Structure 1
Amino acid sequence: MSHAASQAEAITDTRSSSEVRETYRKIAWRLLPFLFLAYAVNSIDRINISFAKLRMAHDLGLSDAAYAFGATAFFVGYILFEIPGNLYMQRVGARATLTRIMILWGVVTTLTGFVNTPTHLYIARFALGVAEAGFFPGVILYLTYWFPSWKRGRVTAIFFMAGFVAGMVSGPLAGAIMTGLEGWQGMKGWQTLFVLEGLPAVALGAFAWFWLDDNPARVTWLTDRQKAIVVENLRLDQASRATESQSFGQVIRDPRAYIPGIVFFTLYSGTNTVAYWMPSLLQSVGITDLRRIGVIASGPYVLAMAAMYLLGRSSDRHLERRWHLAATMLTAAASFWLMHVLQADVLLSTLFMTIGAAACLAAVPLFWTIPPAFFSANAAAGGIALVSSIGSLAAVLSPVTVGAIKTHTGSLYVAFDVIGCMLLVGTVALLAGIPAARLHERQA
């Protein structure tokens, strides 16, 4: 037996040897803190408009429907450029792509602080969507270059924790900036919010050029043996689950490729509604203090962090994703319905709103372990971006839908009832349309 063959055999003897654990620990500590911070800043820059709206609406003359249109404009730009962005990342590499994306979205966020009409806001949000396009699916794809499928549940969960941390701090941070820095440099509080929260993305983008590597084969911070472990595990992982090879053109013509997108569409409808309308719902029940709204709105993210990590760990251990995800989505749906039923009791209604929002948020990282296993390696970039784009349609439609429901019924509770029904539909699509065998979840 050759040295290379014996090395490969040694690598694949176990997933839990100290050598393998040390290799992936080193990779995790190199990549995840930076990606974690980048996603946290990304999430803050995306949802800060929900807090700015509480003061910006008066200054710009924004109705609820106009605000919803502004929130939607972001996702129009995002969807239009998401698939091209991910396909382009495969060609030029993650380092160049993520550097460009972060610098551009930071600049656009900062400039949003200087809009003075609803039309300017629509243009700024569209431009932010174009700038951000490809970041999220690009990171999901990037993780597949380093971690095999049996590691991705926990890794994806850790990455998504950044979004939850952002949700926890964005409210209190926005409240502090908008009240404490009102009048700073002659700007109103909501203007200061956009300016100060856009600058960190520019700095992170510049740092990404020097910190990220496109793949494990040529890095200098892994030993040759560690690089061999990573490359061999990725090769074996792909060989064990890829039963068919598809080009991106074949993927978009395959009806099965749209099922994960449908599931994500229903799930993203829930998370998007939580992110953009929870502050308004809290305000509608009589909570007017911005700091208090920010603190309460951070509650679901605290609960979701714990749930998300436990779900990721359990699904990795059992190599099972579908039923873990289905149970979480049903919990969110039931909680949103109960939130409406118990609306007369502010405490209980807020409790179920928190549980439903947390379940919805915790389901997202679990979902994103599915598309990389669902698509073959050569179709992964386009397939992941396709799923993300379909889901992002929810971000275009849900603000408009929620705004219309709120305008016609005067109640946001009805909108959350609709979201609960959509989550039920998504659960059925998941269990009926994505068989476990296609994900190759259970390995011998």
Structure 2
Amino acid sequence: MSLSDRAPVPLPRTRWTILIPIVFVTYGLHYLDRTNTALLFPRLDDDIPMSGTATGLAQGAAFIGYMLLQLPAVWAARRWGPRKVVFWCMLVWGLAATGTGLVQNVAQLVTLRFLLGLAEGPLVPLVILLLARYFVSAERARSAAWFLLVVPISAVVSAPLTGLLLEHFSWRTVFLIEGVPPLVWAFVWFFVAADTPGQARWLKASEGATVTERVAAEEAAKAGGGDRMRLSTLLRQRLVWVLAALYFAATGGSVGLVLWLPTIIEDLAPGATPFEVGAMAALPSLLGAVAVVLTARWSDRHDNRRTPMLMGFGVATAALLIGTRLPDTLWAQLTVLAVAGGAVISTGGVLASIPGAVLPRTAAAGALAVGNGFGAIGQFVGALLIGALRDTTDGSRAVSYVVIACMWGVGFVASALIAEPAHAAAAKSKAVDPEGSPA
């Protein structure tokens, strides 16, 4: 009997109320570092003089480290489980984050940023792999969206918080303070997260069995019918290279914007306090926090991944190009940046759900790891290129906007290449939303 011929079995809500908050906080601590460096790096000039190019290199070093352990971490998770691998990664990145407050020169800064990126890199593919064991296909975009919602929310919360801390402490102290939470939370993750529904202490045995059965039935129906895929086979998948282009464009352009946004705001509002700069820098993320959830709901409901991706990249690219023609006033430019940033953030949950819709679980995590690796390259290019351009163009915002718009334009073209999977079983059960998931 096929999955679509059986009566719907209720799926436990505790997956949403326990597992999602755990991964939400974990990823939030990972993303906190990206937000605080945008505000903290300009202050390093007090002790470690750096040009825009050197700052971009130090920022970009984290992204080079970020891409190196993507695939190895997925293979390690097959042997030891995502829970243990993420635990050790959190300890390493927490130590690297606190250590940044002790650096004395650019070389030390670049080294620690590289180490931090190396430890943070495995998190996204491993969390997506973990979620794929707990959520069925009709829930994937929403589960990924709720976990990735932390990206805009962390910016909304941490940018003003970091700005407030900077009004009372040195940049060194702020790095030390904000590097401690991952060291503490690693142990919460270790004792609450579980590699499979059957091992989760917060699920009843019958609930764990139900989730495992539903997910296993979907996995068996996918191409290949197995959970393993050789690297050579994986790299021949068209989807992998579409994902690579999407992640390169999305994260590269976004990081180029996020890391330099506080500097752009300070140029437009030279009298603003660090707290005010942080609050204004959070506006794109605030808009994105709403957009990412609504977009994921629409995508799951209509079983459509291509349209939300086209809309997100298209609006973001157009907004920045329009911004080059608007007056250099604070609120005109901030509106452009909020719309552009929010539009790209809206694609996050949908993008993370694409590989799991058509590939077996571990192969999907591998495809995501390859895509995320290219995203790290994009982040390095975005951070370094915008820094160098600001040096050579006397801080021209228009040039920076065009470069970021070009990267997002690549994402728009790649979005058009997303093939919508035609799952007969999914089509039959389209009208029935899995019980226990938020509408």
TM norm structure 1: 0.90
Aligned with 2:180 (options 199, 202, 207): 199
Q: Answer yes or no: is the 8 Å Cα contact 2:257–2:404 preserved in 1.
A: no
Aligned with 2:57 (options 32, 52, 69): 69
Aligned to 2:234: 251
Q: Answer yes or no: is the 8 Å Cα contact 2:253–2:379 preserved in 1.
A: no
- Write the mapping of 1:410-421 to structure 2, written as runs, cut at 5 A: 410=394, 411-421=396-406
1:213 has 2:201 as partner: no
Secondary structure in 2 matching 1:221: coil
Counterparts of 2:362 and 2:275 in 1: how far apart (Å)? 48
Aligned to 2:24: 36
Secondary structure in 2 matching 1:369: helix
1:285 has 2:271 as partner: no
Distance 1:241 1:286, change over 3 A: same
Aligned to 1:129: 117
Aligned to 2:433: none
1:271 has 2:254 as partner: yes
Aligned to 2:97: 109
Shift of 1:440: 7.9
Secondary structure in 2 matching 1:435: coil
Q: Which amino acid aligns with 2:19?
A: L
Counterparts of 1:408 and 1:248 in 2: how far apart (Å)? 41
- Write the mapping of 1:393-412 to structure 2, written as runs, cut at 5 A: 393-410=377-394, 411-412=396-397
Q: Which amino acid aligns with 2:100?
A: T
Shift of 1:306: 0.9
Superimposed CA distance per residue, residues 15-42 of structure 1 (whole angstroms, 9 cap, x where no aligned partner): xx6x33xx1x111212111111111111
Q: Answer yes or no: is the 8 Å Cα contact 2:128–2:365 preserved in 1.
A: no
Aligned with 1:363 (options 347, 351, 373): 347
Q: Answer yes or no: is the 8 Å Cα contact 1:148–1:233 preserved in 2.
A: yes
Q: Answer yes or no: is the 8 Å Cα contact 2:315–2:340 preserved in 1.
A: yes
Aligned with 1:300 (options 279, 284, 294): 284
1:346 has 2:330 as partner: yes
Shift of 1:166: 0.8
Q: Which amino acid aligns with 1:37?
A: V
Aligned to 1:235: 216
Aligned to 1:184: none
Counterparts of 1:146 and 1:11 in 2: how far apart (Å)? 21
Distance 1:421 1:10, change over 3 A: closer
Q: Answer yes or no: is the 8 Å Cα contact 1:405–1:412 preserved in 2.
A: no
Superimposed CA distance per residue, residues 243-293 of structure 1 (whole angstroms, 9 cap, x where no aligned partner): 576423311244542121111111112211222111011112133421111
Shift of 1:438: 6.8
1:387 has 2:371 as partner: yes
Distance 1:305 1:378, change over 3 A: closer
Aligned-pair Cα RMSD in Å: 2.1
Counterparts of 1:439 and 1:66 in 2: how far apart (Å)? 49
1:425 has 2:410 as partner: yes
Counterparts of 1:438 and 1:65 in 2: how far apart (Å)? 47
| Identity over aligned pairs, percent | 26
Q: Answer yes or no: is the 8 Å Cα contact 2:152–2:285 preserved in 1.
A: yes
For structure 1, the 5+ residue unaligned runs are: 182-188
Shift of 1:323: 0.5
Higher relative contact order, chain-length normalized (CA < 8 Å, sep 6+) = 2
Q: How many residues align?
A: 424
Counterparts of 2:364 and 2:390 in 1: how far apart (Å)? 39
Distance 1:134 1:175, change over 3 A: same
Q: Answer yes or no: is the 8 Å Cα contact 1:79–1:392 preserved in 2.
A: yes
Counterparts of 1:440 and 1:174 in 2: how far apart (Å)? 49
Counterparts of 2:345 and 2:174 in 1: how far apart (Å)? 24
Superimposed CA distance per residue, residues 390-433 of structure 1 (whole angstroms, 9 cap, x where no aligned partner): 1111011111111122122221321221221222222222213x
1:377 has 2:361 as partner: yes
Shift of 1:240: 3.6
Counterparts of 1:391 and 1:9 in 2: how far apart (Å)? 35
Aligned to 1:138: 126
Counterparts of 2:346 and 2:267 in 1: how far apart (Å)? 26
Q: Which amino acid aligns with 2:58?
A: G
Q: Answer yes or no: is the 8 Å Cα contact 1:283–1:293 preserved in 2.
A: yes
Aligned to 1:167: 155
Q: Which amino acid aligns with 1:212?
A: A
Counterparts of 1:34 and 1:345 in 2: how far apart (Å)? 41
Q: Answer yes or no: is the 8 Å Cα contact 1:177–1:193 preserved in 2.
A: yes
Shift of 1:47: 2.9
Superimposed CA distance per residue, residues 316-371 of structure 1 (whole angstroms, 9 cap, x where no aligned partner): 11111111111111111111111221133432221111111111122222211112
Counterparts of 1:44 and 1:440 in 2: how far apart (Å)? 41
Shift of 1:97: 0.9
Counterparts of 2:362 and 2:162 in 1: how far apart (Å)? 42
The structure with the largest helix share of the pair is: 1
Q: Which amino acid aligns with 1:115?
A: V
Q: Which amino acid aligns with 2:360?
A: S
Counterparts of 1:113 and 1:36 in 2: how far apart (Å)? 26
Superimposed CA distance per residue, residues 50-75 of structure 1 (whole angstroms, 9 cap, x where no aligned partner): 11112112320111110000001111
Counterparts of 1:353 and 1:390 in 2: how far apart (Å)? 24
Q: Answer yes or no: is the 8 Å Cα contact 2:160–2:278 preserved in 1.
A: yes
Aligned to 1:262: 245
Q: Which amino acid aligns with 1:426?
A: G
1:57 has 2:45 as partner: yes
Q: Answer yes or no: is the 8 Å Cα contact 1:154–1:313 preserved in 2.
A: yes
Q: Which amino acid aligns with 1:198?
A: G
